Every structure is written in C-alpha cells, then in structure tokens.
Amino acid sequence: MRVVAGAELPPLAIELTPTVVISTAIATRDFTPVHHDPAIARAQGSADIFLNILTTMGLVERYVSDWAGPSARFRGLKVKLGVPAYAGDTLTFSGTVASVTESETLIEVIGRVSLGPHVTAQATLTPVALG
Amino acid sequence: MTDERDHLMAVAGKAIAAGEGPRIAAPLPVNAATISHWTEAMGERNPLYAGPDAVAPPAMIQVWSMEGLNRDPDRRVRLPVDDVFEALDEAGFTGVVATNCEHTYHRYLDLGEELTSGTRLTDIAGPKRTALGDGYFVTWNVTWYAGDEPVAEMMFRLLKFRPKTSATAADESRNVGAEAAREPYPLRPAVNRDTAFFWDGVREGELRIQKCGDCGILRHPPGPVCPTCRSTRRTHAVASGSGTVYSYVVHHNPPVPGLRTPFVVAVVEVPEGVRLVGNIVRCATEDVYVGMPVRVTYQQMDDELTLPMWIPVEA
C-alpha cells in the first residue's frame, strides 16, 4: 500500500515503569545515576528517575519502525527535547506522514507525557510500503 | 558581563578552530548481545535486528561509543568541548539540559564492525535569557567511522545555564529554550465555558479544535452552537500541530504590554481544516511568508499561562 502525506501512524502508549526507565538506560550503556537511582534524581531537583536521551531516540525509532516495517530504512532522526519523562508517567506517541517523495518519506512524531511534549521528532526514511 | 562573554567566546573559538578531536575507539564491536539487550528494552521487534545477518538499529549509534560503568577518569581522552564546559562551569553556568539531538545515518552497521568516533565543537550562542536561567547553547557534532568511512553523524545541543536560586527550577524545565521572563504576562485570554477545553489542551500540550457533537464538523474559534447543524452538543478533536501561514501582519506600533515590537500575528491554516490566529516566534519577521509551513509550540508565559504559538518547520 502506498503511503500518502497526511496519513497518521497508529498511536502507541508506553507505561514508564521504573523497569522500563532503568532497563532502557542500561541497554543504552548509560549509567548516569539520575536514570536508575530515585534518591539521587530527587536530590538534583527531579521528581523521579527519568528516561535518558539515547532511549528517547530509541523509542522514537521503534515507534516509527513498528509502523514502517522491515523494508524501510532510516536516513536520519531529528529530536527536540521537551519536558522530562519520569518513571510513573505514560509516554504516548502520535505520528503523521509529513511528506512523501520518490526517494524519501518524512514522518513527524510527538511523544507526550502528563507534563506536556517530551519529544518532537522528524524521522527521514527510504520509501515506505505498508503490507 | 561583556568580559565574561569575551572570555567564553575566546575559549569556544579556539575549540571550534581545533576541529575534530582524537578518534576514540568504541569499547565493543557492533554485536548481537548488545543489540538484543537494546531491542528487548525498547520493545523493538523489527526482524532486521535479529538473527545471524542482523544489522544494528540505527538509533543505537551513540550506544556503541558509551564508555560504560567502569569509567577511569585518568584514561579518558580530553575533547575540544571539555575546555568550553569547564569555562562555563567556572563562570557559574553549572546547570545543563539537552535540547536537540539529530542523527544522520549513512548506512546500517553489520555485526562485527569496529567503530571510532570523533567530536568537534560547532557553535556556542549566548548569553540567552531562558526560563531556567541565563545560559549558553552549546552545539557539537560527533562522526562515527568504520575504518576511515563515516557511517553516521550526530548533532547535539544543550543549554548550560546559571541556575536560579529558587527550588522551583525543576518545575520550570517545561519551558526549556523559551526566552520568556517569569513576570506575570499582562495579556490574558478570555477563558469561559466555550473556550476552557482549548486552554486546558494547551496546558497539556494539545491543540484542541472544537467539534460538533452531532454532525462532527470542526470549528474555530469555539462557540456554543454549530453554525452548520445548530446543535449545541460539542466535543473536540486534537490537531496534529502542523499548519501553514494563511496570512500575517508584522506589528510595529503601537507598543503592546508584554510584547517586544516588531512581532508577527498570523492566521495559520491547519490541515484539519480550520484557521487559528497566533504569533510566529523563533523566526525573523522578514522571513515569514504566506504558505510557510509552521508547527505549534507551547510557550509558558508565566506561572499560570501557556500560549500556543507557531514556529517555522525546519527544512
């Protein structure tokens, strides 16, 4: 199926349990204590442990890749960071096909938590053909 | 203040001129164990990243050069950006918050590839007044290489700020990058039973458009009765947040409390089919044009008020 500009990606909600925050931080080899130690995170003025940036990049990729399937290839991923995504919150992704050309597909993604947008992203893919 | 800026700019200028720092070897080759740990944690099920012919998920690129848990400070190689961070810390800009991360992938990586990475400082801008405090935006680039072939790049920008003394700084992190002071903003929107859903949405980071509860037609500005079917039942839809400039004016005079002239007031058409009035920010007034693609942003004007505004969509 051809992908057209304006099409929406199915939304995805991810419960940010402490397990998610910590396992993704460690899987990205980021051992900074604010991503796994609540006492240190709070002492630095945060509400709780929060997602690290490498995970935000990874979750945006996963959200777009769930939709685009294994034939598409990422050329780039641009992310603007907003409010922190704390453990206990829910990160909800929505996405739109912003433009389609013969050589690439541009997807715009927003990931929101209860405080507001956590991430605003643009993913550039090779042409996408949906099953 | 000027001396301080001159000093910081001199340090940064030297670091920028130094170009790319030493290439540092990634501690592990691209490998299946690290990939499967990552895909499991992310919930990524793309079959490309599993099996004997797996490639690495492209968003993992920075993972390969993470130093890991047993960092030995004596062995850490000094990078050109380190001088700039030290100078900013010494000047009291000790707070840090990341604002942008942009990856470019030249190709996907196969199992067994050994990478190196080189870092160069590209920009420093400031001092800027932000909700977190005065600060400098620092931008650097990392290039990853397989042998001498560049395989991926990253632009990373963060704000180094002088923390405010109040304990509320963490709560203000929602306003990262906004160059607004926190004095009460003098212009307040009219919030009533017809419009409350819109302003509630703005606080949640949603652009809500009133929708007829019977015929489903969207309308803006909000009102009590559907102009199409006269129903008084109403609900709302959430707009994607993208739009194009339908029309605009540049306001020079008279002065308006709370705003610095000149500023742009635009009618923005959204793909959902309605038009909204709002300011266009983070764009020179002369760069605005009819048909310009924009996207909504939420500016916290003071402790209570958040306003939707529009910023250019980056090319």
* pLDDT for residue B172: 40
B 70-89 near A (Cβ less than 8 A): none
Nearest Cα of chain A lies from the Cα of B251 at a distance, in angstroms, of: 29
Rounded average pLDDT over B289-306: 88
* pLDDT for residue B256: 80
Query: Does the CB of B58 have a partner CB in chain A at under 8 Å?
Result: yes
pTM: 0.67
- In chain A, the residue whose alpha carbon lies closest to the alpha carbon of B315 is A122
Question: What is the percent of chain B with per-residue pLDDT over 70, rounded to a whole number?
Answer: 91
Rounded average pLDDT over B26-49: 97
Task: Give me chain B's average pLDDT, please.
Answer: 88
Determine, for residues B57 and A75 on separate chains, whether the beta-carbon distance falls below 8 Å. no
Answer yes or no: are the C-beta atoms of B140 and B156 closer than 8 Å: yes
- In chain B, the residue whose alpha carbon lies closest to the alpha carbon of A12 is B43
Task: Assign B67 a pLDDT band (cuts: 50, 70, 90).
Answer: confident
- In chain B, the residue whose alpha carbon lies closest to the alpha carbon of A82 is B174
**Pair of tokens at residue A117:** 């947008």
Q: Please check the confidence at residue B165 and state whether its pLDDT lies above 80.
A: no
What tens digit of pLDDT does each residue of B96-147 get? 889 999 999 999 999 999 999 999 999 999 898 887 788 999 999 999 999 9
Question: What is the percent of chain B with per-residue pLDDT over 90, rounded to a whole number?
Answer: 63
Decide if domain A8-125 falls under CATH 3.10.129.10. Answer: yes
Determine, for residues B240 and A96 on separate chains, whether the beta-carbon distance falls below 8 Å. yes
Q: Which domains does chain B have, with CATH numbers?
A: 2-175 (3.10.129.10), 196-312 (2.40.50.840)
- Residue environment code for A42-79, b if the CB has 16+ CB neighbours within 10 A, otherwise e: eeeebbbbbbbbbbbbbbbbbbbbbbbeeebbbbbbbb
Query: Does the CB of A55 have a partner CB in chain B at under 8 Å?
Result: yes
Low-confidence ranges of chain A (pLDDT < 70): none
Query: Does the CB of A60 have a partner CB in chain B at under 8 Å?
Result: yes
Nearest Cα of chain B lies from the Cα of A115 at a distance, in angstroms, of: 7
**What CA–CA distance (Å, rounded) separates A87 from A90?**
8
Query: Does the CB of A76 have a partner CB in chain B at under 8 Å?
Result: yes
